[in-house]
Amino acid sequence: MVRRRRPQLRHKRSQLDFLWPFLLIIFTGIILVLLTQLIFSWLDQRNTELKNKVYFYLDQGNAQILPWGETDWSKAYYGQLVLEGDRLQSGTESRGVLSFYNNTLVRLDASSDVSLETLQSEEDSDTIGLKLRQGRLWSNIVQNAYGDSSLSFVVETEHLRITSQGTIFEIEMTDSEVVRVLEDSVQVEFIDRSQGDDVVLETWTVGVGQQIELEPQDVEILLSHQPLSVLEALDDSWKTSPWATWNREEDEAPTDFSAASQDTSEKADDDVGFFPEPSEEGVEDELGNELSEEEPKMPQLELTSPSSNPYTLPSDQKSISIEGKTGVSTVKIVVTSYDVDGNSTLYVLKSFTEGSTTWRYNAAFDYNNLYEGRNRFLVVAENEEGLESDPLEVIVEVSDKAVEQEETAVEEPESSSTPTDFSAPQVLTINGEALPADGVYRTSAETLTIAGSVGGGAESVYVNEFKLSKYQSGATSWSYYANSDYGNYALGENTYAVYAKDAQGNKTAVVTFKVIYEPVS
């Protein structure tokens, strides 16, 4: 019996010996596949990590950073890592560079405020999103420089959304919102955010050598759903500015900031910054003034522009930008302006956001907060506890030469060529409604769109001494926009005086009407 079973065992062993090499090959293949997947997964993860890192380098001056989720600003160092949600502010006389994973560069000018809103990496596309709250930035966008994915680069300002897939362009968020394109083209959307949602009202394609510049009155026209031609050629004076010159030089031969020595960083840190470091000998306020331990930290204000106080405005200028610095604890800034009769008007700076360290207030004849003679402004900062800073008084002297020239022109003899149809302006509608017969219009609307007619012989139309910049000579209709942001529309009673002038300086009768602003409580 035993002798009969042994050949059978030998037969089974020979079958296992035959299958073993194939099993070894299968197991080896499975291990190789798993190892390959692990390697590719590690590489993809590493690529994603690299894409989600942005570094900030100072070219000169100083900067500060507000990390996402925090409330305290800190010093931004040379080679600072910037993550999604972080916010940067460059100091006065400072400038810096944001360096992205694919050699895309964004340069910041002095007193700029920008946040990294979006930094996403998908399988076939990447998205970078910035928000410019104040200042200027220059973008040199590199497309398809990292793998096969496409890049969408988006910058938002107060009213604009600029989208690029690879180009060179500049954006300003100052008294006006400006987009300038140096290479290729960008898409610009005008957005109404007044109702909480983003509503796109206009879309333009800005090509190489073109720019869009939206002044406050242009914004009001677009928000009222009226057409406006905004595309124009690049400003020649801007092309030769130090800011544009430096950026063009950097585009042609970029500085390798990542290879710069630490000496460069230390030198930059010693330049103009935001506020002095606290003294070891005692407690200091936000601008470096020593306080006693019992004294609360009051908000602080510092004037940076105009260069002198009092300041005399050149005779050829009709506006001025009053700018300054404050501490990070400031939540609100209020400016009080005074008219020629001494009446005061309070205005809360809507462009100032909590945590900002710079502020700006614009005064102009067009806004009815700047007049011939001596102009007085009081600026006050307030923190979360309701503590107010000492008032900062700013005096602006305005020459009356322009008024003298205007009066001389009016005194010239009337020309016989004056058109017969030189009738005074008439007010037809306010916000689409007819002006009541008594000339008093009551409304709860936050803005006004005033439309009217005028004789065809008019050369210009004025409302409260503001020359309507959009009015074309000879036109028989005109429009005027009022908004509390411009200083020409306030709570209660508002009086408006309208008249026209012809080419010889002759003036029509003045038509007055009133608007009573009564917000819904």
What's the pLDDT at 155? Answer: 93
| Segment 74-88 mean pLDDT | 86
What share of the chain in percent tops pLDDT 90? 12
What's the pLDDT at 178? Answer: 93
CA dist list (Å): 208 to 105, 124, 180, 183, 236: 19, 28, 8, 5, 14
- Per-residue model confidence as pLDDT tens digits over 96-141: 998 887 778 899 998 899 998 888 776 667 788 899 999 999 998 7
> Higher model confidence: residue 256 or residue 182?
182
> Higher model confidence: residue 379 or residue 36?
379
Q: Which of 15-29, 40-54, 445-459 has the lowest mean pLDDT?
A: 40-54
What's the pLDDT at 1? Answer: 47
Residue with tokens 């206009």, as numbered in its chain: 202
Residue with tokens 């009217």, as numbered in its chain: 452
Q: Which of 224-238, 263-277, 294-308, 375-389 has the lowest mean pLDDT?
A: 263-277
> Higher model confidence: residue 103 or residue 62?
62
- Per-residue model confidence as pLDDT tens digits over 16-39: 666 777 777 887 878 887 777 666
Secondary structure of residue 453 in the 3-state scheme? strand
Q: Which of 81-95, 137-151, 173-187 has the lowest mean pLDDT?
A: 137-151
What's the pLDDT at 224? Answer: 86
Q: Give dist(CA 266, CA 452) in Å, integer.
A: 61
Residue 14 has pLDDT above 80, yes or no: no
> Higher model confidence: residue 235 or residue 204?
204
What's the pLDDT at 15? Answer: 61
CA dist list (Å): 78 to 102, 214, 329, 516: 19, 34, 25, 54
Radius of gyration over every alpha carbon of the chain, rounded to an integer in angstroms: 32
497-516 as b/e, with b when 16 or more CB fall inside 10 Å?
Answer: ebbbbbeebbebeebebebe
What's the pLDDT at 400? Answer: 67
Residue 291 has pLDDT above 60, yes or no: no
What's the pLDDT at 6? Answer: 53
What's the pLDDT at 138? Answer: 92
> Higher model confidence: residue 160 or residue 357?
160
Q: What is the mean pLDDT of the chain?
A: 78
* 463 phi/psi in degrees, rounded to 5: -125, 120
What's the pLDDT at 498? Answer: 92
Residue 383 has pLDDT above 60, yes or no: yes
| Segment 289-295 mean pLDDT | 48
What's the pLDDT at 337? Answer: 87
Domains of the chain and CATH, by start: 49-268 (2.60.120.1440), 296-401 (2.60.40.10), 413-517 (2.60.40.10)
What's the pLDDT at 172? Answer: 93
What's the pLDDT at 327? Answer: 86
What's the pLDDT at 413? Answer: 41
What's the pLDDT at 420? Answer: 55
- Per-residue model confidence as pLDDT tens digits over 183-231: 888 999 999 988 878 889 999 999 888 899 998 888 888 888 888 888 8
| Segment 316-343 mean pLDDT | 84
Q: Which of 217-221, 309-313, 319-323, 347-351 has the lowest mean pLDDT?
A: 347-351
What's the pLDDT at 350? Answer: 74
In 125-251, DSSP assigns E strands to 125-140, 150-156, 160-164, 168-173, 177-183, 185-192, 199-207, 210-214, 231-233
> Higher model confidence: residue 408 or residue 38?
38
- Per-residue model confidence as pLDDT tens digits over 168-185: 999 999 888 999 999 888
